[in-house]
Structure 1
Amino acid sequence: MVSLITAFFVSFIVTILIIRTQSIHGRISGDIDLNGPQKFHTRSVPRIGGLGIGLGIFSAIALRYQDSASNTEELFLLFGALPVFGIGLLEDLTKKVGVRTRLLFTALGALIASLLLGVSIDRLDILGFDLLIAMPAISIAFTVFAVTGLANAYNIIDGFNGLSSMVGMITLIALGYMGIQFNDPLLIFLSFAMIGAILGFFIWNYPRGLIFLGDGGVYLIGFWVAMLSVMTVSRHNEISPWFAVMVNAYPILETLFTIYRRKFHQGKSPGHPDGIHFHSLIFRRILNPSYISNELEWFNANAKTSPYLWVLSSMAIIPAILFWHSTPILMGFSIIFIATYVWLYKRLVTFKTPQWMRPQ
């Protein structure tokens, strides 16, 4: 609890200082590109909210390490997060760091964390595939790939106020809950300390959007969630590996569907931005009429978009918490989740939005 409070207040204070001093650093820290297909704001906003989160989690770990110098595992995860957060923050400040470079540094961070912590994905409960990833080199390579992909997935879903940050907190609650279930102080600390750090940012980002996560923030959250997901399954063999899949189902599916849509449906590069993500369609097809001239309202269409995806994400996380021990059940729920996602996406893109999704 002390760590959560420490992370929260450090993040809260740093974030408000960034907002209050944006007249000084706005030219460097501001998100001045307002014309991209994924842009839904009309004024420059600081995009270095990840700085508050990073300093918040650093403070919590420093405080814990001061109490007991034997807590090295927290430092190992922090070491792995440094290149991930650093390259993201550099992009936020310079706007010149390419996607490949960011992914390379994220992969480096995942490799560092995996080796130092001694955790990796070595099973998926899939006959044949488990024999392959049981080999240490392949297991570590697959872990690096998965962590890098999930960290980038958080960047993909970061389209509206409070979206990535709340999805991250909901997922971390699930991971922290598993730490409580298995009496794992490390998982409990790392989960709830990051929740505190994100919360200190969240209250300034949602609903008004006074500051954005930026690449530093989204990559840090995505990396942290990904590594804790790996650690949860690796440290406790009783937990199905599909628990980790299900608690991250929304960002994973959004990423895979985006790659499919851009590569095979549009014939474009998977890295080419577009404006037809699931969250973009909810905004444009369901809530956009209330957006006109209302961006400065407290609860505008931008803010109303995110709760739809919080609920969608929870549809996968709740079964994961209830059936964490059963791979067959979680596989079944994953199929249901995929079918629900595709059905809803098709209804939105063809202008056949279900009536229950429309605001009353």
Structure 2
Amino acid sequence: MIGLLVAFFSSFIATLLIIRFQHLHSHMSADSDLSGPQKFHKISVPRIGGISIAAGIFTATLFRLQSNPSSSIETILLVCAIPTFAIGLTEDLTKKVGVKTRLFFTAIAAGMAAIYLGALITRLDIPGIDYLLALPGVALIFTIFAVTGLANAYNIIDGFNGLASMVGIITLMGITYVSYTVGDPLMMYLSLVMAASILGFFLWNYPRGLIFLGDGGAYLIGFWIAIITVMLVARHNNISPWFALLINAYPILETLFTIYRRKIHQGKSPGQPDGIHFHTLIYRRILNPICNAQKGDVFSANAKTAPYLWVLTAMAIVPAILWWQSTNTLIIYSAIFTASYVWLYKRIVTFKTPAWMHP
């Protein structure tokens, strides 16, 4: 418990200091581009919130090492996360690091975690696929691809105040519950220490958006969640591998749908930004027309967007933690969630938003 408090207060204070002294670093750290298709803030804001989250898990790891010198797994995980966090932070400061470079460094981090932590996806409970994963090197390649994809997915959904950070917290709480159920205190700790670190940032980010997560923060959260999810399934054979998919269903589906929309439907590069993500549509088609006139309201259209996606995230996480042992049930709910996502997206994009979604 003390370690979690250390993580929270370290992150909280680090965020406070970044905001308080932003006049000293805003020329490098501020997100001053207000014109992009995914930009919805009206003033320049620091986008280095990932530093706060990194500070939280770093200080908590140091504290844990002092009380338990044999605690090596969390230290290794922290070291493995350095490449993806560092390249994301570099993009936040320079605005010159391309998507392919960020994915390359994240893939390196995923490979390190797979090798040194045994974070490997070795089964999907699908005949034929499991045979392929048993072949030398296939599981490693597939794991690197999956972890890199989820880390990037958190960067994709990081579009509004409190969105990616609270999705991360909700997901981590689900992982904590299943870890508790199977009696794995280490996975509980790794989940909770990241959740505490995110919370220290979240209180400054939501609802007013005084600081942004940035690529460094988004990649760090996504990578950490991906690795501990893979590790949890690898450490307990009674947990279905589809638990890892369903508990991360929202960011995964948003990424896959984005690739389909840009590459297949629009004929563009999947790495190019656009303004028709699910969260963007909720903002533009549902909330912005209503909230635009509410000047001075701390819960602006931007702040009111994230709760819609928090609920969507919970729609996948609740069945994931209820039926974490049953592959067949999780596959069914994965299909239901996918169909619901596509149906809602189509209704909103065609100006047929269900009445119950309007505030």
Could you say whether these structures have the same fold, taking a TM-score greater than 0.5 normalized by the shorter chain as the test?
Answer: yes
Structure 2 equivalent of residue 144 of structure 1: 144
Q: Which consecutive unaligned segments of at least 5 residues does structure 2 have? A: none
Deviations 1:306-330 (A, max 9, x none): 0000000110000000000000000
> Which amino acid is 1:7 matched to?
A
> What is the rounded CA distance, in whole Å, between the counterparts of 1:65 and 1:143 in structure 2?
28
TM-aligned CA deviation for residue 119 of structure 1: 2.4
TM-aligned CA deviation for residue 295 of structure 1: 6.9
Quote the sequence identity (%). 65
1:82 to 1:295, Cα distance in 2 relative to 1, 3 A: farther
Structure 1 equivalent of residue 85 of structure 2: 85
Structure 1 equivalent of residue 125 of structure 2: 125
> Which amino acid is 2:126 matched to?
I
> Which amino acid is 1:164 matched to?
A
TM-aligned CA deviation for residue 336 of structure 1: 0.4
Q: Does residue 166 in structure 1 map to residue 170 in structure 2?
A: no
TM-aligned CA deviation for residue 113 of structure 1: 1.0
> What is the rounded CA distance, in whole Å, between the counterparts of 1:297 and 1:90 in structure 2?
34
| SS of residue in 2 equivalent to 1:149 | helix
TM-aligned CA deviation for residue 157 of structure 1: 0.4
- Counterpart contact for 1:64–1:71, Cα < 8 Å: yes
Deviations 1:152-193 (A, max 9, x none): 000000000000000000010011111111221210110000
Matches within 5 A, 1:1-360: 1-292=1-292, 294=294, 296-359=296-359
Mean Cα displacement is larger for which, 343-352 or 173-182? Answer: 173-182
TM-aligned CA deviation for residue 293 of structure 1: 6.0
> What is the rounded CA distance, in whole Å, between the counterparts of 1:325 and 1:255 in structure 2?
26
Deviations 1:232-251 (A, max 9, x none): 10000000000000000000
> What is the rounded CA distance, in whole Å, between the counterparts of 2:152 and 2:246 in structure 1?
17
- Counterpart contact for 1:153–1:254, Cα < 8 Å: yes
> What is the rounded CA distance, in whole Å, between the counterparts of 1:325 and 1:185 in structure 2?
19
> Which amino acid is 1:161 matched to?
N
| SS of residue in 2 equivalent to 1:33 | coil
> What is the rounded CA distance, in whole Å, between the counterparts of 2:350 and 2:109 in structure 1?
41
> What is the rounded CA distance, in whole Å, between the counterparts of 1:341 and 1:349 in structure 2?
12
TM-aligned CA deviation for residue 65 of structure 1: 1.1
Mean Cα displacement is larger for which, 128-137 or 348-357? Answer: 128-137
> What is the rounded CA distance, in whole Å, between the counterparts of 2:121 and 2:24 in structure 1?
45
- Counterpart contact for 1:41–1:295, Cα < 8 Å: no
Mean Cα displacement is larger for which, 225-234 or 135-144? Answer: 135-144
Q: Find runs of 4+ consecutive structure 1 residues off by over 6 angstroms.
A: none
TM-aligned CA deviation for residue 296 of structure 1: 5.0
> What is the rounded CA distance, in whole Å, between the counterparts of 1:173 and 1:136 in structure 2?
34
> What is the rounded CA distance, in whole Å, between the counterparts of 1:295 and 1:266 in structure 2?
36
| SS of residue in 1 equivalent to 2:325 | coil
> What is the rounded CA distance, in whole Å, between the counterparts of 1:295 and 1:109 in structure 2?
44
Mean Cα displacement is larger for which, 40-49 or 180-189? Answer: 180-189
1:18 to 1:301, Cα distance in 2 relative to 1, 3 A: same
> Which amino acid is 1:212 matched to?
F
Give the alignment's TM-score, normalised by structure 1.
0.98
> What is the rounded CA distance, in whole Å, between the counterparts of 2:19 and 2:4 in structure 1?
22
> What is the rounded CA distance, in whole Å, between the counterparts of 1:35 and 1:43 in structure 2?
11
Aligned residues: 359
Deviations 1:27-85 (A, max 9, x none): 11000111000110111000000100001001111111111111111111111101111
TM-aligned CA deviation for residue 272 of structure 1: 1.1
| SS of residue in 1 equivalent to 2:38 | coil
| SS of residue in 1 equivalent to 2:164 | helix
- Counterpart contact for 2:86–2:216, Cα < 8 Å: yes
- Counterpart contact for 1:208–1:296, Cα < 8 Å: no
> Which amino acid is 1:334 matched to?
S
- Counterpart contact for 2:118–2:231, Cα < 8 Å: no
1:283 to 1:100, Cα distance in 2 relative to 1, 3 A: same
> Which amino acid is 2:140 matched to?
I
